[in-house]
Amino acid sequence: VLEAILNFYDKFAEQNATNPKLQLDAGRAHRRVGEVQFARGYADKAAASFRRAASQLEPLAREYPADRGVRTELVLTYLAAPPDAFPDYERLLVRARELAANLDDTVRPHIAASLALKLAWVKGRTGDRAGAERLYREALAALAPPRDPAEPRPPSATVELALARSLL
């Protein structure tokens, strides 16, 4: 079923290649399918979906650098992708951090912290302990409990805070 959905989006996007909204929708569909495939244990298919999403979203990000929706979708693609999906994953996470710098995303207020956490984990895997520690500490500071209890805090922020503490 997922393959049929992706084929539909690919054909639709090809037929409407000049419509950036449809290209964005196709990239989003590939990212979401990649997330489902990864959760179901299909790492190779997930990696292919994330790569396809990035290949559709990168040109849009270059053509429309001020479009928050495009930037957000590309950031989410790199954030959700498994590390082995891209040969230069660390560089792409750094790029995602740059894209996310001024998003001020009220739906995902901790996206920068999530990126710092993932980049720290990747740096730790490659042996850059000092870089990993710096980024873990950055993530901890950004994920710290809010001073105002009324401030919205997604459940994932609590999980990521515990993960950052554990990995540090």
**115-151 confidence digits (pLDDT tens):** 999 999 999 999 999 999 999 999 998 888 777 766 6
**Residue given tokens 């730790």 in the structure block:** 124
pLDDT mean across residues, the chain: 86
**76-107 confidence digits (pLDDT tens):** 999 999 989 999 999 999 999 999 988 876 66
Q: For the chain, what percent of residues have pLDDT higher than 70? A: 84
Question: How far apart, in whole angstroms, are the C-alpha atoms of residue 79 and residue 54?
Answer: 11
**Residue given tokens 């084929």 in the structure block:** 7
Question: How far apart, in whole angstroms, are the C-alpha atoms of residue 101 and residue 108?
Answer: 13
